[in-house]
Amino acid sequence: MNRWRSSVRLRLATLYVAGLGVVLLLFGSCVFVLVRARVMQSVEVRSQAELARLASYLQQEGISTSEEMEEPGYEPYLVVGPDGSALYASSTWRDLGLPQAPRELAPAGGGEAREPALHVSSLSFRCANQDVTAYVAIDTGDTRRSLSILMAVLLGGTAAALVAALFLGYWLAGRALAPVAALARAAERVGVGDVTARLPVGVAQDEFDRLAEAFNAVLERLQTAIEELRRFSSNVSHELRTPLAAMRSVGEQALRRGTDARGEEAIGSMLEEVDRLTSLIEQLLALARTEATGAGEQGNPVDPAAVAREVVNACLVLAEEREQELVCELEEGLVVTAHPLLLRQALYNLLDNAIRCTPPRGHVRVRVRRLSNDESVIEVVDDGPGIAPEDQQRIFTRFERVDRDAAASGAGLGLAIAKRAIEACRGRIELASALGVGSCFRIVLLHGREAVPRREEQRPVRFSPNQGVSHP
Amino acid sequence: MRVLLVEDERKVRDSIAEGLQSEGFEVDVADTGSHGFARLRDAPPDVLILDLGLPDLDGLDVLRDLRASGSRMPVLVLTARDALEERLAGLDGGADDYLVKPFAFSELLARVRALLRRGRTETVMQLVHLDLELDLVRRRACRAGEELVLTTKEFELLELLLRHAGGTVSRKAIAEVVWRQVSRATPLDNVIDVHMARLRRKVDDPFPRRLIRTVRGVGFQLGDGPA
């Protein structure tokens, strides 16, 4: 079924064969019906000629009921009197074992007898002052065999043509779709971040060449845009950091020189704002970089349980400070494709968010489990206030918060960064939430190809994994 | 010890120079790459602090020329760009260390001192500050003879403070050293604050003198602690 949906080529070939099949069957039926009608008509013409000959013979010779009546070399025949009784049946008629009562024969005027290989026709005429009806039976066995052979040839030919058409159609569709397959491969390469991929453009200037050209033009613009964005964020980063560095440096030296308590308070508060601004810029740049280049590198095989454990360990103190229960349920041995840094950052942001949004003494749960053969999921579940349905999309856009309390919830970039980071890993973030029940953020990632996870570059976590945590 | 500071931003240059002078360094300054070249040639310093974004020359070129001339002078690079490639380019070009702007002065100071210490191998087994002792081999901490029960992170935090006793340690430095944070996009400030609060409960609360001080807007400092 999957193959069916995924292959236009197979679908085209099959549709082609189905169409051809209908046409061939219609054509074959028409040929057969026409030939058969024509053949049967010629049989009827022969019968009528035979009957006319018989009638003139009988009118000359008269009908004798005696056994000795001459057999004039006619086809098997039967003569019936006006009362319906048989006047004479030829010996051949009798040999064939045909009935001698006309009502047991087919309706007068010709038609098929019960015996399928015989065609019986009749003719009424006057003979020796009485109305008689003569019946002639013509053997149609040969005709029928010929018709059967015709039908077999038609059916067999159709079937053979269809099989040939299937292969031919599949081949043709494959040839016709080859540029599309090349297009898809190039698009896939772009999908994983290689915007330098280009499609080969043929010289034929056909539809596919034009498509390839259009596609290449889009890629060209995309590549320029990404390079510009890279340059832009580098410049922005320089232009914003330089004055911040000056503020920081000047402020610190003022503090070092020593001022009174009020001056210290003022400078300290200014430096705190410099820090906030710096952190905001870092986050914005991280977001821009993830969008522009995050997808540029292929992900590595990563053990999601290891990443989850590391992030949970880092966040444990935050939960403890709020007297929350932070519980892990980690399925070991899974391997997903991700950028370790981006994944860690996304999960950190989700968990930090969950801890901040859940009231004291609430519960936060981090779960890693296999979702299907292709995907695994890292879930962050809390029993906080939940997020209203109308807010659920909005919170993933930058600078959006559910509560408007800026001090309590940061700049509102955390979830946006998490979403971009996971998308750069070719995964997705899902949110299920109900007001008053809690929220569940899910990071869904594709499984890595390698069975054994490569140890990502990280120093060992020297953090006791169950330090003060309440395990279920 | 002589420091040459090549930095085009006047405010940054002046304040860093002032800070270094107050720390006992002899500071020479240059505001352009060519000026820096001249100062390097005329009066080679013990350590060079080099901004990469100079108006006339790329700081990296200055660095390459310096290394090409065979100098092994310690160089600390300052940059306002943080793209990983640029950091790597800086280190490949011969920088010994780098700092991304904006940075805390304490950090600059710590790195300059570390560069000057380089080559002199010193394996510190024990750190002592007043009545606080840290045994780095057995990873045990004592204050006034009493053993402190610390978690790994708390121990590393205290070790960092002790190594910079008297100076200020910024949250960024803590995130990089204790949490091995690479990207600054993930703010660890809350995590650090909680750990610091716990460390204080163990190190300071039971004793009359409070050693760990918060320097607002700058970071944390292990001081003499007024009684």
Same-domain check for residues B83 and B60: yes
For A125, phi and psi rounded to 5 degrees? -155, 170
Residue A163 lies in a domain: no
pLDDT tens-digit series, residues A212-221: 888 888 888 8
Judged against a pLDDT cut of 70, whether residue A66 lies above it is answered with no
The CATH number assigned to the domain holding A364 equals 3.30.565.10
Residue A155 lies in a domain: no
- Assess contact for A102 and A108: CB atoms under 8 A: yes
Residue A356 lies in a domain: yes
Same-domain check for residues B156 and B85: no
The model's confidence at residue B220, banded by pLDDT at 50, 70 and 90, is very high
Same-domain check for residues A89 and A124: yes
Same-domain check for residues A303 and A257: no
Same-domain check for residues A302 and A287: no
Q: How many CA atoms lie within 13 A of A16 on its CB side?
A: 19
Per-residue pLDDT at A223: 84
Range of the domain at A270: 207-293
Cross-chain CB nearest to B82 (options A237, A251, A320): A237
Range of the domain at B16: 2-117
The model's confidence at residue A470, banded by pLDDT at 50, 70 and 90, is very low
pLDDT tens-digit series, residues A355-386: 988 999 999 999 999 998 889 999 999 998 88
Residue A9 lies in a domain: yes
Judged against a pLDDT cut of 90, whether residue A67 lies above it is answered with no
Q: Give chain A's mean pLDDT.
A: 80
Per-residue CA distances from A219 to A141, A210, A290, A296, A424 (Å): 73, 14, 19, 14, 18
Same-domain check for residues B82 and B189: no
Q: Give chain B's mean pLDDT.
A: 85
d(CA A346, CA A451): 24
Q: Count residue pairs from A and B with Cβ separation < 8 A.
A: 134
Same-domain check for residues B69 and B145: no
Same-domain check for residues B68 and B144: no
Where among A270, A293, A316 does a domain terminate?
Answer: A293
The C-alpha of A226 sits at a distance from chain B's nearest C-alpha, in angstroms, of 15
The CATH number assigned to the domain holding B52 equals 3.40.50.2300
d(CA A262, CA A270): 12
Same-domain check for residues A276 and A321: no
Is residue A264 less than 8 Å (CB to CB) from chain B? yes
Same-domain check for residues A272 and A311: no
Cross-chain CB nearest to A278 (options B102, B106, B153): B102
Per-residue pLDDT at A133: 86
Per-residue pLDDT at A457: 39
Q: Which chain B residues are within 8 Å of A272, Cβ to Cβ?
A: 216-217
Residue B51 lies in a domain: yes
Where among B117, B147, B182 does a domain terminate?
Answer: B117
The CATH number assigned to the domain holding A279 equals 1.10.287
Same-domain check for residues A351 and A364: yes
Same-domain check for residues B112 and B132: no
Per-residue pLDDT at A468: 38
- The answer for residues whose C-beta is within 8 angstroms of residue B208's C-beta and 6 or more apart is B227
Cross-chain CB nearest to B15 (options A237, A249, A463): A249
Residue A353 lies in a domain: yes
Judged against a pLDDT cut of 60, whether residue A208 lies above it is answered with yes
Judged against a pLDDT cut of 70, whether residue A87 lies above it is answered with yes
Residue A177 lies in a domain: no
Same-domain check for residues B103 and B7: yes
Could you say which residues from 348 to 407 on chain A have a Cβ atom under 8 Å away from some Cβ of chain B?
A: 348-349, 352
Buried/exposed code over A400-438 (b: 16+ C-beta within 10 A; e: otherwise)? ebbeeeeeeebbbbbbbbbbbbbbbbbbebebebeeeeb
Is residue A6 less than 8 Å (CB to CB) from chain B? no
Same-domain check for residues B62 and B6: yes
CA closest to A242 among chain B residues? B80
| Interface touch B217/A251, C-beta < 8 Å | yes
The model's confidence at residue B122, banded by pLDDT at 50, 70 and 90, is low
CA closest to A237 among chain B residues? B81
Residue A358 lies in a domain: yes
Element (H, E) at B194: helix B189-203
Same-domain check for residues A302 and A442: yes
pLDDT tens-digit series, residues B27-74: 999 999 889 988 888 888 999 999 988 888 888 888 888 888 888 889
One-letter identity of residue A164: A
Same-domain check for residues B208 and B143: yes
The model's confidence at residue A313, banded by pLDDT at 50, 70 and 90, is confident
Same-domain check for residues A282 and A334: no
Same-domain check for residues A315 and A357: yes
Which one of B78, B168, B183 would you mutate to disrupt binding with A, by most A Cβ within 10 Å of its Cβ? B183
d(CA A450, CA A405): 45
Residue B227 lies in a domain: no
Q: Which chain B residues are within 8 Å of A267, Cβ to Cβ?
A: 217
Same-domain check for residues A288 and A302: no
- Assess contact for A252 and B218: CB atoms under 8 A: yes
**Number of domains present in the structure of chain B:** 2
pTM: 0.55
Residue A355 lies in a domain: yes
**Number of domains present in the structure of chain A:** 3
Per-residue pLDDT at A463: 34
- Is the previous residue joined to B102 through a cis bond, with omega within 30 degrees of 0? yes
Per-residue pLDDT at B87: 64
Same-domain check for residues B110 and B137: no
Same-domain check for residues B157 and B136: yes
Judged against a pLDDT cut of 90, whether residue B138 lies above it is answered with no
| Interface touch B101/A244, C-beta < 8 Å | yes
Same-domain check for residues A249 and A306: no
Same-domain check for residues B18 and B63: yes
d(CA B111, CA B104): 11
